[in-house]
Chain A
Amino acid sequence: MLRRIIPIAVIIVGFSVFPLVTNDNFFQNLTITILIFATFATAWNIAGGLTGLFSLGHGVMFAIGAYGAVLLSRDVGIPVLVAIPLSAVVASLVALLIGLMSLRLSGHYFALATLAFGAIGVVLLNNFADITGGDEGISIPFTPDPWGLVFQGKVPYLFLNLGVYVGTVLIFIALVRSKWGYRMRAIREDETTARSMGVSVLRTKLFAVSLSAFLSSIAGSMFAFYSLYITPENTASVSTSLEPALMSIIGGMGGVFGPLIGAILITLLQQQVITVIGAAVPGLANLIYGALLIVCILLIPKGLLGFLDQLRLSKRIAKKPAQPEEIPEPEKDLESV
């Protein structure tokens, strides 16, 4: 357990010291974006990495969080701090419903079904323009109010999102160590065997997607109140749905902190490419991004963290060639929490 607390402490201290060292708007913005998407990616990882359900429709959950919190507080008059968990509950109910429909499918079919649900989400948001503002979206008025989660400076956002991220990670760690976590990994490794060992497959999967949706929705709410501008494109679209998956895969789906590493890399990449090359060559950022994805997935399918683990392993093997039976399982990553 201590081994997991140390990185969390490092993360908390690292991100807290950050605003003291730099007053630079750009870096603070970068850090907050990283934290929001690290939360989203960690939430995705509960379904994708832990249970093996490669959802391509998580943008819908993100959008429910973003639109739900904003609409409930603006149109219904519910306080923001109540509206956020309320929309997260709605997101998990929607995930349960979608899950009941799509979780019987496996493999390609599940990925395709979630892609379709994501597309339906975009269609709904665009077509109910009276409520959602259509494809122009909603801009949230900038009236600083701590209880409305709209702050004057960037530092409160940083601490708020740091708190949300650390909370998500703690939930993730607790989950990995729980009965549910073992069931989820059993399903990921071999569904048939898990079923024959008495794991209730559908119930476990439903639990995984609804928890994942709950946390994704909170990430969506955080995004809405930070960016103050939400559209179907930046919340529900296919590219938003892919983002947490990419971050988890590039960082490493096996570990707790893979999604954070992925979020840091991808956000840096996106922002740096924009600042270095500017908008002069539109598409170049995406070109690098897609190429990186292909290279990562083909060369290091276990992500950066998995790759580092493998390097360590091969060193250890090289030291003790006489006892090959002591080679640790490469899949040990999550079990060792």
Chain B
Amino acid sequence: MLDVLILGLLAGGVLALVAMGLTLIFGVMDVVNFAHGEFVMLGMIVTATLTNAWGSSPYLVAPLVVLGSVPLGWIIFQLVIRPSLGKSLYVQVFATLGLGVVLQAIALIIFGPNTVAVNDPLASSRINLLGVSVELGRVIAFVVALVLFVVVWLVLDKSRLGQEIRAVAQDAGAARIVGVRVSRMYLIVFISGIALTVAAGALIVPFQAVTPASGLTFALVSFVVVVLGGFGSLMGALVGGLVVGVIQTAAGFYLGNEWSQGVLFLLFIIILLVRPSGLMGRTTADAVAGGR
């Protein structure tokens, strides 16, 4: 029982980081990024391939990969996201879906269809955590995820930049009037959302293998996390991630791995029905319409 809880919380911390980029981009830009999972996959597969090619540690490669994701995020923002801002819903949905297809295809062309895994002695060594033996990689991922979470929280809450971003999230038009450069805030938020997502992928890959097709699962899981916590809420992503991590681990343990996804989606639908604005979400018009 305790081991399920601990493993679940460890997994949940990383899920929270995976979902944080999605919720950040939605909260500020009002864009649901359906290509989200592909960025996790890219973070995983690039980190794994470079680690194996250089014979290095994934934790040394990861910062480079995250840095490399910044220009990628910039290009994608200019080409796909900026033209779809403010357009009708299906334009956004299908533009980001198309982006997902493209990213997955690029990964398939470059890295091939095979499973890539990292064999890192540091990550796979086991330590004793409250009487439960866990891989160190999972603990590292959990701790780094929490640190990144706190950093983002502090930036949003305390800094001048964070103030401007929150202003844009509340009311882009009013923010523009008081002199906030809205499109620059969008760019910053999108790039940092992508970088956080790629970082999550780089943290996951030391203990989980990856193929170019892995993205979809991550996308679906992050949707569950974000809907549970509340779309656009940072704290919601953390709470949702931890809850989903525990539920998924418990379902895998008691019902078998093949059902853990099914349980997750069932949970997803129950949340959408009972409380579409999530545990901590602000009440959006969509959520209000749904809650009726």
Contact = CB atoms under 8 A, between A and B. Distances in A.
Interface of A: 48, 54, 56, 101-102, 104-109, 111-113, 115-117, 119-120, 123-124, 126-127, 238, 242, 245-246, 249, 281-287, 289-294, 297-298, 301
A289 B101 contact: yes
Nearest to B88: A301
A48 B101 CA distance: 21
A195 to B, nearest CB: 11
A194 to B, nearest CB: 13
B219 to A, nearest CB: 9
B265 interface: yes
B1 interface: no
Which of B80, B231, B289 has the most chain A CB within a 10 Å cutoff?
Answer: B289
B80 A294 contact: yes
18 contacts: A102-B269, A104-B290, A109-B227, A109-B276, A116-B268, A120-B265, A120-B269, A123-B261, A124-B262, A126-B258, A281-B109, A282-B108, A283-B104, A283-B212, A286-B102, A290-B100, A294-B98, A297-B90
Nearest to B109: A283
A12 B147 CA distance: 64
B180 interface: no
B262 A112 contact: no
Contacts of A120: 262, 265-266, 269
Contacts of B268: 112-113, 116
A298 B78 CA distance: 12
The 8 closest A-B pairs by CB, nearest first: A290-B101, A283-B108, A293-B98, A290-B102, A287-B105, A286-B105, A107-B286, A294-B98
A119 B221 CA distance: 11
A111 B26 CA distance: 15
Contact of A127 (B107, B113, B259, B272): B259
A190 to B, nearest CB: 13
A123 B220 CA distance: 13
| B101, B216, B289 — most chain A CB neighbours (10 Å) | B101
Contact of B269 (A116, A242, A290, A298): A116
B98 A112 contact: no
Interface of B: 32, 79-80, 83-84, 87-91, 93-95, 97-102, 104-109, 112-113, 212, 216, 220, 223-224, 227, 231, 258-259, 261-262, 265-266, 268-269, 272-273, 276, 285-287, 289-290, 292
| Most B C-beta atoms less than 10 A away, residue of A123, A283, A284, A286 | A283
B91 A109 contact: no
Contacts of B104: 283, 286, 290
Nearest to B273: A101
A246 B102 CA distance: 14
Given A290-B99, A293-B101, 8 more contacts: A101-B269, A108-B89, A111-B93, A115-B220, A127-B262, A283-B108, A292-B98, A297-B95
Contacts of A282: 108-109, 112-113
B134 to A, nearest CB: 27
A116 B220 contact: yes
B272 A109 contact: yes
Contacts of B97: 242, 293
A112 B32 contact: yes
Contacts of B113: 282
Contacts of A245: 94
Contact of A104 (B87, B258, B292): B292
Nearest to A122: B261
B93 A106 contact: no
Contacts of A105: 272, 276, 286, 289-290
Nearest to A102: B272
Nearest to A298: B83
B110 to A, nearest CB: 9
A119 B102 contact: no
A113 B265 CA distance: 9
A153 B107 CA distance: 40
Contacts of B290: 104-106, 109
B80 A115 contact: no
Nearest to B292: A104
A287 B109 contact: yes
Nearest to B284: A107
Nearest to A253: B90
B256 to A, nearest CB: 9
A120 B223 CA distance: 14
A291 B265 CA distance: 29
